Amino acid sequence: MAKYLLFVVLLFFTGWCKRHSQDPPVAKVGNAVLYKSDLARLIQPGLTLSDSTMMARSIIDKWVRKQLIMQQALLNLTDAEKNVEKELEEYRTSLIIYKYEQKYIQERLDTIVSEEEMQQYYNDNLQSFILPVSVAKVQFVQLPLQVKPDLLQGWLLQANEESVKKIEEFCYQVAVKYEYFGDRWVSFDNIKMLFPYSLVPSEQNLMSNKLYEVSDTAYRYMLYLREVKSKGTQSPYEFVRDNIRNIIILKRKQKLVNDLENNIYLDALNKNKFTIYE
């Protein structure tokens, strides 16, 4: 019997040594061990040796910190506070339901939204589409300071197809930057990004059919505002069109989930699948 126990111990020890020689630990906190194989699974493939080393150090550091906090928590929480079975079961239930709902939606959701439906939603909910920031239809040009802007100023103010072609040809040759957004509405937040910080125009000064022009020591910045809608006014339909489409699809998703829950409930009710005790 003693020989048998000795054999089992030796066998276990041999296996333990073999595992550790093939898969050595890279970090240990208390009884928790992070092995080389665990680390390898967390490192992204295709990285250089330097990047892999840096990432490995980061992973190990985060693992150690997490284990230290975990051990500290175990020492300072009561047995009742450490009992998270209820929370885990609630999370598991929520996660399974969520995955099923997403699969159900994916199989049944109609993502085609007609222009008429979006326009109708816009008209029915005008109060929901008030501009939080000014928007404008613009053209922007950045020129070296030595380039004379006279012709360009005239073309920008003409604002027609012929002048747009002339502007594009001119800017192709001498401009540092040229932005033409066509009929697309551009928010003031994006307009600001076209200028150096110190030269950003005031939102209150944005006016339709106005050429805004400033310069620094190297460049001239020209912004033509063809049409402006001020902050706090009704948003143009085109500016919120994509948002409306997302809203309609979201409502369809919500309806699918609500219908699913109601149908399951009614089916169970009709088939006496549940009992409510008073």
What pLDDT was estimated at residue 10? 42
147 and 215 both lie in a single domain? yes
Q: What is d(CA 5, CA 7) in angstroms, rounded to the nearest whole number?
A: 5
Please indicate, yes or no, if residue 14 is contained in any of the structural domains.
no
What pLDDT was estimated at residue 229? 95
Cα 79 to Cα 85, 89, 91, distances in angstroms: 12, 18, 20
Side-chain half-sphere exposure of 116, counting CA atoms within 13 A: 0
Please indicate, yes or no, if residue 4 is contained in any of the structural domains.
no
113 and 157 both lie in a single domain? no
pLDDT averaged per 10 residues, the chain (length 278)? 41 45 85 89 83 88 92 91 91 96 96 97 96 95 93 91 93 94 94 92 89 93 94 96 97 97 94 88
- Label residue 32 exposed, middle or buried (CB < 10 Å: 0-12, 13-18, 19+): middle
What pLDDT was estimated at residue 152? 92
Please indicate, yes or no, if residue 42 is contained in any of the structural domains.
yes
70 and 202 both lie in a single domain? no
- Residue 186 contacts residue 239 (beta carbons within 8 Å): no
Q: What is d(CA 153, CA 273) in angstroms, rounded to the nearest whole number?
A: 77
116 and 190 both lie in a single domain? no
Structure tokens at 50: 């330097």
Rg (CA), the chain: 33
**Domains: count for the chain:** 3
Please indicate, yes or no, if residue 166 is contained in any of the structural domains.
yes
Q: What is the pTM of this model?
A: 0.73
What pLDDT was estimated at residue 21? 58
200 and 114 both lie in a single domain? no
Q: What is d(CA 257, CA 263) in angstroms, rounded to the nearest whole number?
A: 10
Domain that residue 112 falls in: 92-129+238-269
Please indicate, yes or no, if residue 7 is contained in any of the structural domains.
no
Please indicate, yes or no, if residue 9 is contained in any of the structural domains.
no
122 and 176 both lie in a single domain? no
What is the DSSP secondary-structure string of 178-195? EEE-TT--EEHHHHHTTS
- Label residue 179 exposed, middle or buried (CB < 10 Å: 0-12, 13-18, 19+): middle
